[in-house]
Amino acid sequence: MAKTPLFQFTLRPNRRVKRIWTECPAADLKRASSQALYEGSPYHRRRQSGQLSATRGYPFASKCDPKWTIAEATKALRAGIAAGRVSDDWRNGFPRHVWYKDVTVVYEAVLHNEVAGTYHAYPLKEEEWPHGL
């Protein structure tokens, strides 16, 4: 008989599923989408000449797809905001969470500098996708 582990390890334990804020004012979306920037997280990845690196500096970080450059990630972030795929939690004029769907993968961007409006992002498992996507 196979032994079952005492603990089940997941990448993001106790993660609650979020909801898209469907009543966000269009003016707020327009302003935030024009100013938001993708920066990435120094804890998860290193940046090299505008490309997102596939090396991981944090054990739970997912690898970056080589197709994503800083410019492409910023474009996707802004598209997610402009489309209204944002949380109802806003900080200094920027949504705390933004979601972008790239064919079959959903990415969650998280605001990490509310003054500058910069974000880092990661792919979600299907069960983590926000309600209303």
The per-residue pLDDT for range 79-88, each reduced to its tens digit, is 999 999 999 9
**What is the rounded distance in angstroms from the CA atom of residue 86 to the CA atom of residue 80?**
7
Helix, coil or strand: residue 42: coil
d(CA 31, CA 82): 9
Q: Is residue 75 part of a domain?
A: yes
Q: Could you tell me which residues come within 8 angstroms of residue 78 by beta carbon, excluding any fewer than 6 positions away?
A: 33, 34, 36
Domain membership of residue 114 (yes or no) is: yes
Range of the domain at 107: 26-128
User: Is the CB of residue 34 less than 8 Å from the CB of residue 78?
Assistant: yes
- SS3 assignment, position 66: coil
Residue 47 lies in a domain: yes
As a whole number of angstroms, the distance between CA 99 and CA 118 comes to 14
At 17-74, the pLDDT tens digits run 788 999 999 999 999 999 999 987 665 554 444 555 545 555 556 666 677 889 999 9
Q: Indicate the range of 8-12, 81-85, 98-102 predicted with least confidence.
A: 8-12
Asked whether residue 94 is domain-assigned, the answer is: yes
SS3 at position 48: strand
Domain count along the chain = 1
Of 52, 62, 39, nearest in space to 114 by CA: 39
Domain membership flag for residue 39: yes
Q: Is residue 51 part of a domain?
A: yes
| Confidence at residue 74, expressed as pLDDT on a 0 to 100 scale | 96
